[in-house]
Amino acid sequence: MITDQGVAVPDDMATALQDDQEALAAFQALRPDDQRVYVDWIGKARPTERAERLGELAQHVRTYRRREAEEHGSPHPLQNV
């Protein structure tokens, strides 16, 4: 899947998002850099963690709010998860 912002999303991640239309809409509304953080978060997971992260993805995306400090270059909340 390619998002409306032009970010390539792995098939299993796209399926997880498409299974929850609210999460998909929220993901599509994110800035491209935030979308890429989620793609990297899923992509960098060890095989044993990937399914768990995919299961948590919809909740993370639905509740994500860009913090004011992030506007100035502070880390994304998933970068250290």
Q: What tens digit of pLDDT does each residue of 62-75 get?
A: 998 776 655 555 55
- Residues paired with 8 in a beta bridge: 2
Predicted local confidence at residue 5, as pLDDT: 87
Reported pTM: 0.78
10 Å CB burial of residue 79 (0-12, 13-18, 19+) is exposed
Q: What is the DSSP letter of 62?
A: H
Predicted local confidence at residue 26, as pLDDT: 94
Residues 1-60: tens digit of each pLDDT? 999 989 999 999 999 999 999 999 999 999 999 999 999 999 999 988 999 999 999 999
Sketch the domain layout of the chain as residue ranges. 11-72
